[in-house]
Amino acid sequence: MRTSPAGIEGMPPGVPHIIGNEAAERFSFYGMKAVLVVFMAQYLHLMDGRGVTPMNEAEATAKYHLFNVAVYFTPFFGALLADIFLGKYRTIILLSLVYCIGHAALACMGLFGQSPSWLLAGLVLIALGSGGIKPCVSAHVGDQFGSKNSHLLPQLFNWFYFSINIGAFVSMLITPWLLEWYGPHWAFGIPGALMLLATLVFWIGRHRFVHVPPGGWRFLREAFSREGLTALLKLLPLYAFVAIFWALFDQTGSTWIFQSQDMDRQFLGFEWLPSQVQSLNSVFVLSFIPIFTLVLYPLLNRLWTLTPLRKIGIGLFLTAGSFALVALIQQWIDAGGKPNIGWQVLAFALLTAGEVMVSIVSLEYAYTQAPRTMKSFIMCLYLGAVALGNVLVVGVSHYIQIPDSAANQLEQAVAKLPADWRKDPRTIILPGFDGITGTQDDLIQRLKQGEPLSLEIPGQSTFEKAAAAIETRMKQTGALPDEKSGNTLIRGLKDPWDQQITYQIINSSTARIQTPGPDRTPLTPWDMGLLIQRQEPEPDKKPSWTDRLRPEKPWLETRKQQLGIKDPKSTDANNPAPPRPAYVGGQSRLQGAAYFQFFTWLMLGTAIIFIPYALLYRPRTYLQD
C-alpha cells in the first residue's frame, strides 16, 4: 500500500471509491435526518402505544439540533484516533460499522423494548459513527493528491460535494415518502442498508488508496509547535463565523420544516411533503457548483480578485438574505395567510448560494491551511464549528420554551395516585399560580383511561364566549378574522383577574384566545387561554403514479386507528375532546416571525464583523508532499 501520493497529474485511482462511498453514506445520513424532527414530534409517542405525551415543536427542534451537536462534536475523537493511532482508512472502516449498528437500532423502534431508548441509542451510535468519520474522509480525499495534481483539489472537492448532494437529494425525496406511507421501520431501515453499502464500497477500494500513516504523538508536538499554534489561532476566528452560518443553515431540517406545514405545498405540479422541500437544496447545489465554478467566479475575478475569504464573506451576506425572506414568509403566515411553498424554495436558493460560497470553500481552505500531520484535526475543528452553531440553536430553543404549567402540575399529581388509578375516569384539581388548591386560579384536569381528556381553566365560560364570537365570524367569512377585527369582537370580555382577553392568530387554521393569567405577566408559564382550530377542506389531489406504490392510508392514520385515537379536532360520544382545547403555558418567547428575525440580524452582524478579519488574514498553504 502506498503511503504517499503517486507522481501523477490526473485524478488519483482511489477517488471513485471515495465518491461512491460518500454518495451512499450521505443518502443514509440525510435520509434519516430528513424525517427525524417530524418523527419525534408526530410519530415517536405512538410507537409503544397510547399514553405517551408527544413532543412540541420547540422541544423536537432542540433535540434535533442537540443530535447535530453530537454529530459535529465527535469528529474530535475520530480525528485523534486517526491522526495518532489507527490512520484514516482503519478509523473510517471501524466507525462505519458503528454507524450501521446505529441505523439498525432506529429500525428496532416499536418492535420491542422502549422506543425512546432505541432512539437515543441509535442517535448516539450514528453521531459517533458519522461524526467520527467526517474529518477522516475529507482529509483522506486530500491525502490522495501530491504537488503534480494538487491543482485538481478544488475540482475534487466540488465533485465531493456533488456526490454528497446527489445522495442527499434522492434520500430527502424518498425517505419522507416512506415515513408518510410505510412508517418509521422502512424510513429508518433503508438508510441503514445504504450505509452498509457505503462501507462495502469503501472497503473494496482499500488497495487503490494512499494510506498516510498516523503521525502518532508527533501530532501533539506539531500541534503545540509555533507553526501548529499559529495555524490554529489564525483559523479559530474563521470557525466562529462559520458556526453562525451553520446555526442558520441546519434549521432547514427543523424550523423550516415546521414553517412549510403551514404553507400551500403545491409546487411544480406536485404536493410536497414538509420534509421533502429541503431536498431542493441539493438540486440548487448541483446546479450552482458548475455555474459558480465555471461562470460566476471567473467573471468576478476579472473585476475583483476573489480570494477564498472573500467568497466566504459574500456567502454570509447571502445567508442573511435567505433568513430575511423566511421571516417575511412567517409574517405572512402569522397574519393568517397561506403562502405558496415556492417562496421558501426561493429562500433555499439564496441559502444554497451562501452554502456554496461558505461551506465548500471553508472545507477546502481548512485542509490547505492545516500543517501536514494535523489535517484531520484541523478538519474536525471546522466540523466543530458546525457543532457550535447547533449549540447556539439548542440554547435559543431552550430559552424561548415556556414551561407547560398544566402538564407539570398533572405529572406531580399523578405521581401521588395509587398504582391502579387508570381503571376509572378521574377529575383532578390542580393548584394554580398560588400553589394552593381551593382558590380562584385552580385548574381542573379530566382524564379517561389514564390520558388527559380535557383541561378547564379559570374563567372558562368567558373564554368560551370569546371563542364563540370568533368562530361565528369565521363561519361567515370562511377564514379566521384578522387580529384587529377579532380583538374588536371580544372587547370587554375579561378573565377572573380583570384582564382583557385578546385574540392572536398562529397560522391560517389556528388562533388563540388568551390572557397573561394570574401572574399578570405575558410570556410566562401561567399564560392561559383556548385554541381555536379551523377545519380546512381537504384539497383535491390529482392521481399520481406513486399511488400504485403506497397503501390506501398513511401509516400515521392507520396507527392511530389501531390505537383507537380519534382526531382531537372532532367530538363524538366516544371522543368527547373539546373543540377548543385549553392551555396553560407551553408557548414560546420568540413567536412566529420574531424567531427568524432574530437569526437574520445575528447573521447580518456576523457578515459585517467578518470583513476586517478577512482583510487581516495571511494564508499559508500545506500539502502532503
C-alpha cell at 87: 490512520
At 146, the amino acid letter reads G
Same domain, 389 and 409: no
Does residue 7 belong to any structural domain of this protein? no
Same domain, 508 and 360: no
pLDDT, residue 432, reads 93
C-alpha cell at 355: 452554502
CA separation for the pair 291, 314 (Å, rounded): 16
**Contact of 483 with 504, CB cutoff 8 Å:** yes
CB count within 10 Å of CB 395 equals: 13
CA separation for the pair 278, 349 (Å, rounded): 11
**Contact of 561 with 507, CB cutoff 8 Å:** no
Same domain, 327 and 395: yes
Give the distance from CA 47 to its chain's centroid: 21
Does residue 503 belong to any structural domain of this protein? yes
Same domain, 352 and 435: no
pLDDT, residue 153, reads 72
Q: What is the pLDDT of residues 45-54, one digit of tens each?
A: 899 876 567 8
**Contact of 591 with 304, CB cutoff 8 Å:** no
DSSP 234: H
C-alpha cell at 1: 500500500
Same domain, 415 and 531: yes
* 3-state SS class at 534: coil
User: Could you tell me where the DSSP H helices lie in 356-404?
Assistant: 361-368, 375-400
To the nearest whole percent, how much of the chain has pLDDT over 70? 88
Candidates 163, 440, 120; CA nearest to 285 is 163
How many structural domains compose the chain? 2
pLDDT, residue 577, reads 45
Q: Which CA distances in Å does 190 have to 22, 166, 176?
A: 16, 16, 12
SS (H, E, C) 535-555: CCCCCCCCCCHHHHHCCCCCH
Burial class (CB in 10 A: 0-12, 13-18, 19+), 173: buried
Stretches in the chain below the pLDDT threshold 70: 1-7, 9, 50-52, 146-147, 150, 154, 161, 215-224, 227-228, 372-377, 379, 536-546, 566-578, 619-625
**Contact of 287 with 162, CB cutoff 8 Å:** no
Does residue 548 belong to any structural domain of this protein? no
- Residue ranges with strand state E in 136-214: none
Same domain, 202 and 304: yes
Candidates 156, 147, 134, 20; CA nearest to 75 is 134
Structural domain of 486: 405-536+568-584
CB count within 10 Å of CB 619 equals: 11
Burial class (CB in 10 A: 0-12, 13-18, 19+), 220: middle
**Contact of 589 with 523, CB cutoff 8 Å:** yes
Does residue 5 belong to any structural domain of this protein? no
* 3-state SS class at 109: coil
At 477, the amino acid letter reads T
Does residue 545 belong to any structural domain of this protein? no
pLDDT, residue 573, reads 42
Same domain, 378 and 234: yes
CA separation for the pair 358, 246 (Å, rounded): 10
Spell 306-324 as b/e; 16+ CB within 10 A means b. Answer: bebbbbbbbbbbbbbbbbb
What CATH number is attached to the domain comprising 344?
A: 1.20.1250.20
- Residue ranges with strand state E in 336-464: 426-430, 443-448, 451-456
Same domain, 358 and 439: no
Same domain, 391 and 419: no
CA separation for the pair 388, 204 (Å, rounded): 35
What does the angle CA 138 – CA 361 – CA 85 come to, to the nearest 5 degrees? 25
C-alpha cell at 14: 482511489
49: left (phi over 0), alpha (psi -120 to 50) or beta: left
Q: Which CA distances in Å does 245 have to 289, 358, 523, 529?
A: 19, 8, 29, 37
Same domain, 260 and 379: yes
CA separation for the pair 580, 460 (Å, rounded): 11
CA separation for the pair 512, 577 (Å, rounded): 17
pLDDT, residue 574, reads 47
Per-position DSSP letters for 291-328, written without gaps between them: HIIIIIHHHHHHHS---HHHHHHHHHHHHHHHHHHHHH
Does residue 328 belong to any structural domain of this protein? yes
CA separation for the pair 275, 296 (Å, rounded): 31
Same domain, 379 and 488: no
What does the angle CA 520 – CA 522 – CA 528 come to, to the nearest 5 degrees? 80
Same domain, 446 and 314: no
Does residue 160 belong to any structural domain of this protein? yes
* 3-state SS class at 492: coil
Does residue 625 belong to any structural domain of this protein? no
Across the beta sheet with 443-448, the strand order is: 426-430, 443-448, 451-456
Q: Which CA distances in Å does 565 have to 43, 357, 400, 424?
A: 13, 48, 31, 18
Contacts of 450 (CB under 8 A, 6+ apart): 51, 421, 422
